[in-house]
Copies of this chain bind each other. A is one copy, B any other.
């Protein structure tokens, strides 16, 4: 790839892809988008963004192809194979997969891309719709470090990019992020359950610990949901358990024991098995109550 990126294709214009495409167009890049359901891309047409009829058409002339489709299997279906996007891209172009995908998929896509002279970066994000709109995403990038440097201007539109290691490392870092979030939610749920069992007021306990060593974004936001009993998602537990179980499965391929994370995964799995998968992940406190029918305020 030459250093100067001019044309960018964005595959997938959902709640993340659409604002990301807009930000890049606003920054002066020539942006073409494609979305499986065409209507979802239509609103971008008025904003100087071209709409392509197919993924391969969108990607054919692009310097950089950004993939923000919904899952690993969807990315593979659109990107890989003889009729896929990788087969249709210009050699020398760069593919950036920003969906959260399994580590193995990231490595397989990078290998397939390399066979065609294309560099593929796995670059999942954290920060949600708000981060996508405001250009404040945390972007965890695995793959060729020199190419990450060449895309500096593209990433700068979207947020803060950190090169974390070779292909697959971005996907793995996202799993690490999800494990920490899931474990912290469980820690807060168990601590509030303990406090309540001894007669303390969980809302006051949360208030008392604000600003101390136990404080965190999870503690503030998910702790508040637990105290208020508000489990509207947010982040549905069924997606949370998908991430924790993907992380644990990857650890097993490395014969790696992660005892606390394994317990966290089991707890979220039990929550989903008991029918609460559509609740916010902070609802894991309900699973603790289910597990402890005689628990609760004993004062």
Contact = CB atoms under 8 A, between A and B. Distances in A.
Interface in A263-299: 263-264, 266-267, 288, 291-292, 294-295, 298-299
Given A194-B175, A213-B218, A257-B292, A299 B166 contact: yes
A119 interface: no
A171 to B, nearest CB: 9
A190 B183 contact: yes
A281 B187 CA distance: 16
A260 B173 contact: no
The bracket for how many chain A residues form the interface is 35 or more
Contacts of A166: 199, 299
Interface string A215-240: 11111000000000000000000000
A257 B217 CA distance: 25
A212 B217 CA distance: 8
A30 interface: no
Interface in A182-218: 183-184, 186-188, 190-195, 197-201, 204-205, 207-218
A254 B289 CA distance: 13
B212 A127 contact: yes
Number of this chain's copies in the complex? 2
A233 to B, nearest CB: 14
A7 interface: no
A194 B164 contact: no
Interface in A138-178: 138-140, 142, 160, 162-166, 168-169, 172-173, 175-177
B199 A162 contact: no
Contacts of A191: 176-177, 179-180, 183, 261
A125 to B, nearest CB: 9
A181 B247 contact: no
Interface of A: 103, 126-127, 138-140, 142, 160, 162-166, 168-169, 172-173, 175-177, 179-181, 183-184, 186-188, 190-195, 197-201, 204-205, 207-219, 247, 250-251, 254-264, 266-267, 288, 291-292, 294-295, 298-299
Closest 6 CB pairs of A and B: A216-B216, A183-B187, A162-B208, A180-B214, A176-B191, A169-B200
Given A175-B195, A215-B217, 18 more contacts: A140-B208, A142-B200, A162-B207, A163-B204, A164-B201, A165-B201, A172-B195, A173-B195, A176-B200, A176-B205, A176-B214, A179-B190, A183-B186, A184-B184, A184-B214, A194-B258, A254-B298, A258-B288
